């Protein structure tokens, strides 16, 4: 397949590292002009420097109303919006405070809602656009060790489905990508919260998958580029008939025919 995004502008939130940076690189390699976003200008600049293609960086905390507006004022029109920003962490179910619940919803759900609210009208006026949320297998298989994260990602799936309905017939598609256990720096730290920190990384990863993600059919962590491949396809004209969906790149972790 020839995926051509030349002439399209793509915004990827939380794209200074990990899955977000891999998505930014993938979109740029397909010809898109990519806007890298993070909270620190230094980290944004470092990320932009690693991208081959047309890329610019905007530092703004989109988990706040003010930060989202800063980003929108700097880049008032995009063709592709990838809501990748998210936080996660382990906590015993009964010890998750109200403050933690609010933080996870603010970052993982409301940040996406704000940006969709800002950018979707322009897409519908132009009769073309792609809105993508990076969700998680935890949205479907709620993990005991971080139910606040799982619940927030479930809400993200509903957010995508609802906005897909609001964009019906406009030429704009709205989808979620259900990412499985993925190898990032943040996940490495998470793994070591759950297994012996003295283990070398390869052993720690195997132990994590054996104990905490045994349903994985590929029996390894997914690489960020594998998530990016799905996002680039969904962002392209080739995916024009796919909307309102939750598409899995989970290594077969979710034990279901449908999400």
C-alpha pair distances (Å), 252 with each of 4, 176, 198, 222, 255: 29, 17, 29, 11, 7
Active site residue 119: no
131: which strand partners?
A: 81, 174
Give dist(CA 132, CA 197) in Å, integer.
35
Non-local CB neighbours of 253 within 8 Å, separated by 6+ positions: 137, 141, 180, 181, 213, 215, 216, 217
For residues 59 and 108, the answer to whether their CB atoms sit within 8 Å is no
Q: Which of 20, 25, 29 is nearest to 2 (CA)?
A: 29
Q: Which of 149, 192, 233, 253 is catalytic?
A: 149
> Which DSSP letter does residue 107 get?
I
Residue identified by tokens 């590929």 is 218
The residues annotated with a catalytic role in the active site are 149
């Amino acid at each position: 397949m020839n995926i051509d995004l030349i002439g399209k502008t793509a915004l990827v939130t939380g794209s200074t590292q990990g899955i977000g940076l891999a998505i930014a690189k993938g979109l740029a390699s397909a010809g898109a002009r990519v806007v890298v976003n993070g909270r620190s200008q230094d980290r944004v600049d470092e990320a932009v420097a690693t991208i081959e293609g047309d890329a610019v960086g905007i530092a703004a905390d989109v988990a706040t109303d003010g930060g989202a507006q800063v980003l929108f004022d700097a880049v008032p029109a995009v063709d592709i919006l990838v809501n990748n920003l998210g936080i996660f962490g382990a906590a015993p179910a009964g010890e998750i405070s109200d403050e933690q619940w609010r933080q996870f919803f603010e970052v993982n759900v409301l940040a996406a809602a704000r940006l969709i609210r800002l950018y979707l009208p322009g897409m519908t006026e132009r009769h073309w656009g792609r809105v993508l949320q990076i969700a998680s297998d935890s949205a479907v298989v709620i993990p005991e060790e971080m139910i606040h994260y799982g619940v927030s990602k479930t809400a993200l799936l509903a957010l995508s489905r609802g906005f897909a309905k609001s964009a019906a017939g406009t030429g704009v598609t709205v989808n979620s990508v259900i990412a499985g256990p993925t190898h990032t720096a943040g996940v490495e730290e998470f793994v070591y919260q759950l297994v012996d920190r003295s283990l070398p990384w390869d052993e720690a990863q195997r132990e994590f998958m054996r104990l905490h993600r045994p349903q994985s059919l590929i029996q390894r962590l997914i690489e960020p580029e594998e998530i990016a491949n799905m996002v680039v396809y969904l962002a392209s004209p080739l995916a024009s008939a796919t909307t309102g969906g939750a598409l899995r790149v989970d290594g077969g972790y979710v034990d279901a025919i449908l999400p």
